[in-house]
Every structure is written in structure tokens, then in C-alpha cells.
Structure 1
């Protein structure tokens, strides 16, 4: 028995795979147990290491840092989506004087690491007289430039994945390219690429942690500050556990949102679940629009 991609494993192969899975699990558990033992032996779980996090003022600062992180994420996410849409429209333009500069802009900022963009914004721009750049502005701008360029390629890929008959049907009934893109292509492309878009927004959330290098007061900056408090025994591990748990919780919430959107999109009543049936529906709609256009032309 075989599938499209590989031969299904036989009885011996299944037994061998189970043995390898058990061995790998035991090895991972052993490594984790060794790390936990070393942490206990070094006193990282002692009450003195956690004393810092018993104060209400500390948790207020943690809450404030969480709000700062979410604020930067929301602004960067919205800006990235808008910039991505604008750049993808420019990439699809028929005019070279629009398409070429937009393509160069997208490729440049997609290739530059986010941290480099933040450093340029915060340390480089003030040297040319732009002294109003704050850590928050540098973080948000760097995230928007990088992730907007990435999302532009996501939108473009979504449009190119659609059947060519979709656009041809729009042109057949006299629609301009602007109408075809905004009414026919973009709604379908965004819907098809929605899981990828939300996954990229998860990356935006995690990349806000890079702001601690330019003193942006977010979660990682505060984690480093509390973890280096010598008065409380430098609680690096407790600080890592607490702030890491917050990051994991936020990312899991976004991942759950992505899964919910994907399920809703897959089970939508507007489109059939079967990909073949969906293609047939698209072909039927295209044919109907073409027939309507022919009738208008005869009239």
C-alpha cells in the first residue's frame, strides 16, 4: 500500500518507528530532568530567588510592560497589513515606474533583519537631525517595514494562486483593473492566505522582544532588569519562567485565533469544503459571468 508521497510502513517498520519514538521521548525527558535537577541543586527554586515577585509594585510594572508590548504589537500589526496591501498593489501594477520601485523597496526591507532596522531608526536617524525617534517609534517602524514587506509577498502569492479565469471574467464584463483587484481578487486572496497572515502576526508579537536592545520598556527588557537584581540573588531563572510564560500565553492566544479563523474559513457556507468542488464552482461562476458579458455585448 502506498500514498502519493511515500510508501506506507509495514509491520516491522511500524514497530521500529514506535521503538525510536519511545527512545527519543526518554532521551528528551532525561535531558529535561537533568536540567531541572541542576536548577534545584543550584538553588534557583529557593524562596529567596522568588521573593522579588511577591511585591505588588513588581507585578504592576510587569502589567505595564505587557501593555507596552501589546501596544507595539497592535500598531505594528495594523501598519504591516496596510503597508503589505499597498506594496502588493504596487507589485501588481502594469506601470513599470510604479512596479519597479515598489519591488526594490520590498526586496530591500525584506532582506534587512528587524533588529538592524530598529538600530538604524533609534541610533542612526538622530544623527541626521531626527531627534524625535523614541524606542517605541523605532520598534514599531522597524516591525512595520520588515513585516509589511513580507506580507506584501504573501498577498501577491495569494493573488497568483487564484485561477486566471477570475480576473478574465471581471475584465469581460467591463471592469477596470482596480475593480477586479478590490472586488474579485483581494477578497479571495486574503481569505486563502489568512492562516499565513495571522502566523506572520505571531512573528510580529515575538519580534517586539528585540526592542529591549534599544531600551524599549517591554517584557524582555523588564525580565533582564529583574533577573539581574543582585539584592535578590540574581533571580534569572524565576524571571525567565515568569516572563517566558507570559510570552507563551500571548502567542498561544494568537495561535488559537489563527486556528479558529482557519476552521471558520474552511467550514464557511459560501464555499464547498471539497477543493475539486470549489474549483468547479469557480469555473461555473466564471462561465456565468462570461455568458452575461456576451449577452450585454449582443444587446
Structure 2
């Protein structure tokens, strides 16, 4: 049983994602975490929810941050210019550390409509020139811990007595909660992690303040940045087949500049990234 003396999390703010139709082969986009509020979300920068077909996210570069892509539906093909190629299916996750120079493509497969959630996760200044790497976490490889009325799947961090396989450059957790109607669960998170949740299906009450959220609802959570212990997040399902993603990470507390596909600490570094890409320093295209 979770320790009731731990820091008890509340919902700090919440909203529902609005969506815009895009130009084909992109179909629809919504901002789960809007980029202009990154200081509130630190270490997270933004999260986009996209529906798209093949030809949308062809070869492109990144520098200075990480991505965590969760496949909601359809199939997603990953290609990078280091020779990596794979297809991810619903429930799979891909982690990328763009580091100093990533160049890749993320696209729908054949006639599939890919539906994804992509989170941008900051890197500290001293890691922005780190080695580029990719890691695929398939749904069957993430440990699942059952509880009465549901289960928690752990992609990253130490949750419910197990450790997720995703190995981020900075301390984060990512878990997926599946709950039947009326089921309750207390998720334990590091007390000093900033955190948010996103309701993929169903309806919940979240936090000590029991805020109601349904599908497409996003909530940021209270935390104790000076704490060194654990914290409790209480979630209760109000509908059958409820699915919730919970992300947490320790704030980096550095100013950033996000421009196009790059996230750096100054505009001069952004300009350098564009120059390096134009001058071929990111390597050949991903194809």
C-alpha cells in the first residue's frame, strides 16, 4: 500500500486538446503540451498529437533535445541515416536522443493512418552535443503490474516495483494505466518530478482534489521541487476501458530557444545548427 505520509499530488491545471485539420498527407494535429508554456512543463517542451499518412515526416534533422513517441494507432516506420529502420505498432514507444545531430524520418506505413503522441524532452546544456541514439520499446517488452480492476505498464523509470526498459539521458518516468470502471490506483512518482497526464480513453478523477477529466484531457500536477522522496497520484476510473499516460521528469531549469527542429540555449546556437545542417555535418539523408 502506498505511504499516505508521502506528498499527495493535486491537479494544478487542466485543459482539453483542440485539433486542426492539416494539408494532406498530414491529416490532423493537436497540441497536448503547447510549446509556449515550456517553462511550466520543464523538462518537457511540447507534445504533439498527430494523425498522418506516408509522406508527412520525411527526412529531417534535430539537435539539442530528446523525443518520446507513443504509437496510439496505425503503424509508424522509423528510418535514420545511421542505418536504423523499424516499424512500430500501437502501444510501442520510440525514444530518440537527438544529441548533437540526428537525421531521420517518421512516416505512416503503406495506406495506414499513423496516430502518434510525440513528446519533446529537453537536454541540459552539457548534454546537447551528446551522441545521437535511438531505442525502440515494444509494448510486449514493457513490464505490466496488475492491480484490482486494472494494470500499470511501465515504459521508463521505477514504478510499482519494476523498472521500465526506456533509458533516457535525463531522469523521467512514463507509465500507461488501464482501468475498468470504478477502479482506483495510486501511482507513485518521485516527489521532485514535474508531471502531467493525458487521457487517451475513458474518464477519470485525478489528484487529491479529484478533478474530472475525459478523453483528450491533459492535466499538470503539483510537485515538490525540493523533495527527495516519493509522491502519490490518485486516479479513479469513471468509465470502462480507461487509458491514461503519465509522464514525469526532473526540471532542468535552463533557458532554451526552440526554433524549427532544434532546441538550444541561445539563438546563436540555433543559427549554428542550421549552418551545420546546410553544410552536411548531419550526414546523408535518411532514406
Bucket of the pairwise TM-score, normalised by the shorter protein: under 0.3
Q: Which has the larger radius of gyration?
A: 1
Q: Compare the two structures and name the one with the higher strand fraction.
A: 2
Query: Under a length normalisation based on structure 1, what TM-score does the superposition of the two structures give?
Result: 0.21
Query: Under a length normalisation based on structure 2, what TM-score does the superposition of the two structures give?
Result: 0.22
